[in-house]
Structure 1
């Protein structure tokens, strides 16, 4: 997509620090921690569920490869779909958490189910997924 910043960057030799046939890796220009990386598929899709499986697999394999090659011991993998998503092109964030200046925090809490609600949802999901 011509107007998508990440489509442009996924093919930019100046921005790319590592790549394979399906995806590119680059440094985030607004990092949460030092060494914050982005993994971008080379095809456009706004949301994860719209992306072909070969690109999804490639993104995770690249994440594994880069944390091993860069010897990143502790990290978060983040992927947003709509909520807090700023650029509507699927991407993974690889965020080193042992780096100096790490600003990654998940703020909030957890949901408490009402009596019987967990079992209702479990039953419904099993029915829909099987």
Structure 2
């Protein structure tokens, strides 16, 4: 059984509790999923742990597998071939609600009119700096 943590002021905790209505898709002991009321495309859904945590690294591991399985179930049920899974951590990373949430955003067409529209400002890595950072992080894993 998954552990629970709630925040009485959190809009997502209120949705999980039923204080705010939602178009619920899936609910399990650890996960709650519903349609986004500000969708980027038809079928845009949110999947959230029932454990209130501001950022992904705050979520107990026991919730994470069920979140991913729920995202897959929604994509299969919707029959979408192209979609984005998006999860932001922190305000400058575009997180609006301080409760971990994953967006499953269908991309129905090759236009910028619906679905996720992003830039990808890739840069060429300095291989010496990349190796140094790799060694640092790998040593902490």
TM-score, scaled to structure 2? 0.82
CA contact (8 A) 1:10 1:41 kept: no
Alignment pair present for 1:81 and 2:93: no
> Deviation per CA, 1:23-75, whole angstroms, max 9, x where unpaired?
11111111111110001111211011111112111110100111112212111
Q: Judge conservation of contact 1:38–1:93 (CA < 8 Å) in 2.
A: yes
Once residues 81 and 113 of structure 1 are traced to their aligned partners in structure 2, the CA distance between those partners, rounded to angstroms, is: 23
Shift of the 11–73 alpha-carbon distance from structure 1 to 2, 3 Å rule, reads farther
Instruction: Tell me the residue number matched to 1:119.
Output: 131
> Following TM superposition, by how much is the alpha carbon of 1:10 offset from its aligned partner in structure 2, in angstroms?
2.1
Q: How many residues align?
A: 129
Residue 86 of structure 1, CA deviation: 0.4
Pick aligned residue for 1:68 from 76, 85, 95: 76
Aligned 1:21-100 pairs, distance under 5 A: 21-82=29-90, 83-98=93-108
Separation in 1, partners of 2:28, 2:10: 20
Q: Specify every segment of 5 or more residues in structure 2 that has no aligned partner in the other structure, as ranges.
A: 1-6
Deviates more, 1:116-125 or 1:86-95: 116-125
The structure showing larger relative contact order (alpha-carbon pairs under 8 Å, at least 6 residues apart) is 1
Q: Do structure 1's residue 128 and structure 2's residue 140 form an aligned pair?
A: yes
List alignment gaps of at least 5 residues for structure 1: none
Runs of 4 or more, structure 1, over 6 Å off, are none
